[in-house]
């Protein structure tokens, strides 16, 4: 096979790796990338223990299985604490069973040798031709994006704009095709014509046990890394994760195109048929062909039908041309009656809270989908059309760490925003409550910090619009069932006609205590003012104290002062919420350090969100010394009543005109 002899692996650079459960960097030996469970979360087994025997049996069963012919092996072996789970996955184009199994066998030998006695390990062999992982926890149907490794071809592409557009379109398309695959194969590979008549090849694959949504999400998060830390402007790159992998190359076909993946989603819904028995595969092929032909004909008919109708209701979020925008607007627009029914006529029972721009209600649509409805109370200062246009733009922002805007409703004076419903309450409900914050151990707090960072990074850099949130605070971070953070209320500045393009505004949107000094004082905002708010959030999450401060008797020390004082005086452990003090102290201290870098007085010294995400992902990256934060008062304790007066409420954003306020010096210098 061409791709094996090609000395491509020599060019691989391990750029960065994300980590959650396992090690921080993939080791690479003889074209085998692997992560042992370096943090040893899952522990070791002893030689010849039951676990060891179970693992050996499991791996040899897995690598000698001849029943399965679709390249995905999910087996477990043993009971209770000695139960071992393993997943083997061959790349979608490796159709030869012998070849697939020998790759897995090699991985199995290498992995057990390179990660001796580890209960959990993962490895990829020969340019991801196969992946093998095992653990003592159930790893089936679990979407995991870490540990991951990124690699890039060092050569820079020409004609960057056309190039990355082509790559993006190709990979987006492949992501859709692979996600809609069945429970035996979620794989797609194809090529596209790039600049200078070059051919760009792409391949994506998920473990097929994932749901369509999880597969899609894993791949989207991989494609997202391209312009950030994988392979910006490079002619080739890959992002390899436990649950999915993605790769693209220029003028180098690294996969076997004859191994055709299943056709793109057809209109029949019988996609997940049971694995074919060996003798029946001919018949299955014929059936598959017949189904494909029927499916293609149906698709053609649908296309003809849709073309014949002028105002099509179909829409693609990605498309930018005008027709599609109009179509989107039709489908995102809700009827007021629908929302009234869903929220029981905005009943108080359904009231979830009062936000900066209106009241939020919980609702259930007729199809059972739960929604959050924000009933805007303030005049947005925009006409219907402008408002609608802005909603459409904001609805395009989709990221797992952003609360998704599903649509809107404008009828009469009523303006409503419809959001996905996020199950748990907001972050402030947990971290500032003595009893509830025990639910959040360091691991979940770290996950929350990292998630918020990714969400903001997306707003700042990855989305098509450059969005500055301007009102990041604990009550704007919602938590889903798994305590994943989702940022709410982004794009409000757009929806409320606050000029986003000016570096300067006379209308301040934000919450005191989270607002950067240059924003409070001069109305100057930038991505760095969001970074400031994010820094305050990190410090609140770690300390469990509100930014307004720590009250002792009659005095109240502002949080940033308290933290800086303890940090400077070498007693940083005083800062840490006692309920997490026993957890990974070094990681906590590193996060305090990152938080302090974000709240520095001088906006230019604060890191960008891209660097913050890097710092959070890579523990080895050195951090610079933070300078004194804004709002630091050396005397230690100061009454913050003055600031409190303007900080109208924890849950309410303030909107004031700089010209009117005399709060320009409420914080001492
Ligand atoms: C794997 O990498 C770690 C550091 O990333 C290193 O300490 C270890 O020695 C490496 N192991 C092998 C087998 O190369
Ligand atoms: C597990 O084994 C590794 C190497 O075999 C060793 O370095 C490590 O300390 C062990 N961990 C535990 C918790 O026993
Ligand atoms: C699969 O590969 C093996 C060696 O890699 C080869 O001997 C065998 O003929 C191949 N089988 C098929 C069906 O191509
Ligand atoms: C990995 O497996 C290959 C093939 O089985 C073998 O040649 C190589 O020596 C192994 N590497 C290690 C480190 O065990
Ligand atoms: C896996 O093993 C580790 C260490 O022995 C243990 O702490 C953990 O609970 C085990 N996980 C499961 C799911 O049994
Ligand atoms: C990268 O560019 C160099 C110089 O143009 C060329 O020799 C080399 O083959 C290129 N590498 C790849 C992988 O395309
Ligand atoms: C193993 O994978 C197959 C195919 O995706 C699936 O049908 C089966 O339920 C999985 N088994 C387990 C134990 O998850
Ligand atoms: C496309 O290229 C431009 C110019 O280098 C870069 O700014 C942008 O981030 C790239 N986008 C993607 C998706 O790679
Ligand atoms: C789906 O499969 C069932 C039997 O497995 C068959 O009766 C039914 O007609 C199929 N439906 C479609 C839409 O192909
Ligand atoms: C498959 O299609 C039939 C009829 O079109 C529908 O009743 C059934 O719910 C569908 N099943 C699934 C799993 O979507």
Atom from ligand 6 closest to the CA of residue 153? 13
Task: Dump the DSSP string for 173-237.
Answer: HHHHHHHTS-SS-EEEEEEEE-GGG-EEEEEEEE-TTS-HHHHHHHHHHHHTTIIIII-TTEEEE
Which protein residue's CA is at the shortest distance from atom 11 of ligand 7?
74
- Phi, psi angles (nearest 5°) of residue 596: -65, -35
134 CA → ligand 5 middle, Å: 13
168 C-beta closer than 6 A to ligand 8: yes
Atom from ligand 2 closest to the CA of residue 44? 1
231 C-beta closer than 6 A to ligand 8: no
392 CA → ligand 6 middle, Å: 43
CATH number of 427-649: 1.10.510.10
> Within 6 Å (CB) of ligand 3, which residues are found?
96, 98-99
Percent of the chain with pLDDT over 70: 74
pLDDT tens sequence across 352-392: 887 667 889 999 998 888 999 998 876 666 777 777 877 88
Q: According to the model, what pLDDT value does residue 279 have?
A: 40
> Within 6 Å (CB) of ligand 2, which residues are found?
40, 43-44, 116-117
Write down the catalytic residue from 93, 229, 471, 489. 471
227 CA → ligand 8 middle, Å: 6
If you classify domain 319-420 with CATH, what class do you get?
A: alpha beta
Phi-psi map region of 251: left, alpha, beta (phi>0 left; psi -120 to 50 alpha): left
Residue 554: active-site member: no
pLDDT bin (cut points 50, 70, 90) of residue 304 is very low
pLDDT tens sequence across 16-59: 222 222 223 566 677 888 888 766 678 889 999 999 999 999 99
Task: Dump the DSSP string for 80-146.
Answer: GGG-EEEEEEE-TT---HHHHHHHHHHHHHHHHHHSTTBS-EEEEETTTTEEEEEESS--TT-----
Name, in order, each residue with C-beta under 8 angstroms of 75's C-beta and a sequence gap of 6 or more. 58, 61, 62, 65, 85, 86
Q: Does 427-649 match 319-420 at the fold level?
A: no
164 C-beta closer than 6 A to ligand 8: yes
| Domain spans of the chain, in order of start | 8-135, 149-265, 319-420, 427-649
Check whether 318 has a pLDDT greater than 90: no
330 CA → ligand 10 middle, Å: 27
651 C-beta closer than 6 A to ligand 8: no
93 CA → ligand 4 middle, Å: 23
pLDDT tens sequence across 244-290: 999 999 988 999 888 754 444 444 444 444 333 334 444 444 455 55
Atom from ligand 4 closest to the CA of residue 113? 14
Q: According to the model, what pLDDT value does residue 535 have?
A: 97
Check whether 510 has a pLDDT greater than 50: yes
> Within 6 Å (CB) of ligand 7, which residues are found?
72, 74, 140, 183-184, 208-209
Phi-psi map region of 43: left, alpha, beta (phi>0 left; psi -120 to 50 alpha): left
User: Under a CB-based contact definition with an 8 Å cutoff, are residues 487 and 402 in contact?
Assistant: yes
> Taking residues 542-571, what's their average pLDDT?
87
Which protein residue's CA is at the shortest distance from atom 10 of ligand 9?
270
User: Could you give the CA distance from residue 613 to residue 18 in angstroms, rounded to a whole number?
Assistant: 10
Q: Which two tokens stand for residue 247?
A: 């790769």
User: Under a CB-based contact definition with an 8 Å cutoff, are residues 197 and 104 in contact?
Assistant: no
pLDDT bin (cut points 50, 70, 90) of residue 297 is low
367 C-beta closer than 6 A to ligand 9: no
Calculate the dihedral angle through the C-alpha atoms of 316, 321, 327, 332, rounding to the nearest 10 degrees: 70
The listed range with the strongest mean pLDDT (452-456, 521-525, 548-552, 610-614) is 452-456
pLDDT tens sequence across 457-486: 988 886 667 788 888 999 999 999 889 999
pLDDT bin (cut points 50, 70, 90) of residue 667 is very low
Q: Which residue has the higher pLDDT, 367 or 652?
A: 367
User: Could you give the CA distance from residue 547 to residue 533 in angstroms, rounded to a whole number?
Assistant: 10
**Best mutation site among 268, 270, 292, 293 for ligand 9 pocket (most ligand atoms within 8 Å of CB):** 270
Atom from ligand 9 closest to the CA of residue 270? 1
92 CA → ligand 6 middle, Å: 27
**Best mutation site among 19, 23, 25, 27 for ligand 1 pocket (most ligand atoms within 8 Å of CB):** 27
Give the predicted TM-score (pTM) of the model.
0.47
Which protein residue's CA is at the shortest distance from atom 5 of ligand 4?
106
If you classify domain 8-135 with CATH, what class do you get?
A: alpha beta
For domain 149-265, say whether CATH 3.90.1150.10 is its number.
no
Counting ligands in written order, the one closest to the CA of 268 is 9
136 CA → ligand 8 middle, Å: 41
Q: Which two tokens stand for residue 273?
A: 């048929």
467 CA → ligand 8 middle, Å: 17
Percent of the chain with pLDDT over 90: 40
Tracing tokens 């012998």 back to the chain, one arrives at 98
């Amino acid at each position: 096979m061409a791709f094996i002899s090609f000395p491509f692996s020599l060019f691989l650079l391990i750029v960065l790796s994300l980590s959650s459960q396992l090690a921080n960097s993939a080791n690479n030996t003889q074209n085998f990338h692997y992560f042992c469970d370096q943090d040893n979360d899952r522990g070791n087994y002893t030689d010849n223990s039951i676990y060891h025997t179970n693992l050996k049996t499991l791996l040899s069963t897995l690598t000698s299985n001849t029943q399965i012919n679709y390249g995905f092996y999910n087996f477990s072996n043993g009971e209770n604490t000695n139960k071992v789970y393993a997943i083997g996955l061959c790349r979608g184009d490796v159709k030869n069973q012998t070849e697939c199994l020998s790759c897995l066998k090699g991985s199995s030998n290498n992995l057990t040798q390179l990660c001796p006695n580890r209960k959990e390990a993962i490895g990829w062999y020969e340019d991801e031709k196969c992946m093998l992982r095992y653990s003592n926890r159930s790893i089936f149907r679990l979407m995991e994006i870490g540990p991951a490794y990124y690699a890039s071809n060092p050569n820079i592409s020409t004609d960057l704009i056309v190039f990355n557009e082509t790559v993006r379109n190709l990979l987006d398309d492949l992501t859709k095709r692979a996600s809609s695959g069945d429970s035996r194969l979620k794989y797609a590979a194809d090529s596209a014509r790039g600049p200078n008549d070059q051919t760009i090849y792409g391949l994506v694959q998920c473990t097929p046990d994932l749901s369509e949504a999880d597969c899609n999400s894993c791949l989207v998060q991989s494609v997202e890394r391209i312009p950030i830390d994988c392979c910006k402007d490079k002619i080739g790159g890959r992002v390899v994760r436990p649950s999915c992998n993605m790769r693209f190359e220029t003028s180098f076909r690294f996969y076997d195109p004859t191994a055709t993946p299943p056709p793109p989603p057809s209109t029949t819904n019988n996609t997940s048929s049971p694995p074919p028995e060996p003798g029946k595969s001919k018949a299955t092929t014929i059936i598959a062909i017949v189904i494909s032909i029927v499916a293609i004909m149906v698709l053609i008919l649908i296309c003809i039908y849709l073309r014949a109708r002028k105002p099509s209701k179909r829409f693609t979020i990605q498309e930018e041309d005008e027709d599609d925008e109009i179509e989107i607007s039709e489908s995102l627009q809700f009827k007021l009656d629908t929302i009234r029914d869903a929220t029981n006529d905005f009943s108080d029972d359904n009231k979830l809270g009062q936000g900066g721009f209106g009241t939020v209600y919980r609702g259930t649509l007729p199809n059972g989908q739960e929604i959050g409805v924000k009933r805007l109370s303030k005049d947005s200062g925009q006409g219907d059309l402008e408002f609608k246009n802005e909603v459409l733009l904001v609805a395009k922002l989709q990221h797992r760490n952003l609360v998704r805007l599903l649509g809107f409703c404008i009828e009469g004076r009523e303006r409503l925003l419809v959001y996905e419903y996020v199950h748990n309450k907001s972050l402030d409900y947990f971290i500032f409550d003595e009893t509830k914050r025990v639910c959040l151990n360091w691991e979940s707090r770290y996950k929350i910090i990292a998630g918020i960072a990714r969400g903001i990074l997306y707003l700042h850099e990855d989305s098509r619009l450059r969005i500055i949130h301007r009102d990041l605070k604990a009550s704007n971070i919602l938590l889903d069932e798994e305590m994943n953070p989702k940022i709410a209320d982004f794009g409000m500045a757009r929806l409320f006609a606050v000029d986003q393009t000016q570096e300067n505004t006379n209308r301040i949107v934000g919450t005191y205590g989270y607002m950067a000094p240059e924003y409070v004082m001069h109305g100057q905002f930038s991505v760095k003012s969001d970074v400031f708010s994010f820094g305050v959030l990190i410090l609140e999450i770690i300390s469990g104290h509100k930014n307004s401060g720590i009250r002792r008797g009659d005095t109240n020390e502002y949080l940033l002062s308290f933290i800086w004082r303890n940090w400077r005086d070498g007693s940083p452990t005083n800062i840490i919420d006692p309920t997490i003090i026993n957890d990974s102290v070094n990681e906590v201290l590193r996060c305090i350090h990152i938080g302090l870098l974000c709240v520095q007085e001088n906006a230019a010294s604060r890191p960008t969100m891209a660097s913050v995400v890097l710092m959070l992902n890579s523990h080895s990256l050195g951090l610079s010394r933070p300078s004194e934060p804004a709002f630091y008062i050396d005397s230690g304790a100061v009454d913050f009543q003055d600031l409190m007066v303007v900080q109208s409420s924890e849950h309410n954003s303030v909107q004031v005109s700089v010209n009117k306020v005399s709060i320009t010096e409420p914080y001492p210098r």
